[in-house]
Amino acid sequence: MGKIQQSFVNKKIINMLTFKEIKEKMLEIGLMTFSEEDYDKEDYFPNIEIDEVSSHGGYEGGGEHMDKVFEFEQGEESIFVYMDGYHDSYGGSEWHESSIVQVYPKEKLVIVYEEKP
Confidence of residue 39 (pLDDT cuts 50, 70, 90): confident
Give domain status of residue 113, yes or no: no
Give domain status of residue 9, yes or no: no
User: Domains in the chain: how many in total?
Assistant: 1
For residues 61-76, give the mean pLDDT.
83
Give domain status of residue 111, yes or no: no
Could you list the beta-strand ranges (E) of the chain. 49-56, 65-74, 77-88, 92-95, 101-103
State the pLDDT at residue 80. Answer: 95
Average pLDDT along the chain: 81
Give domain status of residue 117, yes or no: no
- Model confidence, pTM: 0.73
Residue 13 in this model has a pLDDT that exceeds 90 = no
For residues 63-92, give the mean pLDDT.
85
For residues 74-94, give the mean pLDDT.
83
Long-range contacts of 48-55 (CB under 8 A, 24+ apart): 48/16, 48/17, 48/72, 48/73, 48/74, 49/73, 49/74, 53/80
Give domain status of residue 82, yes or no: yes
Contact 86, 63 (CB under 8 A): no
Give domain status of residue 21, yes or no: yes
Residue range of the domain that includes 80: 16-103
Give domain status of residue 5, yes or no: no
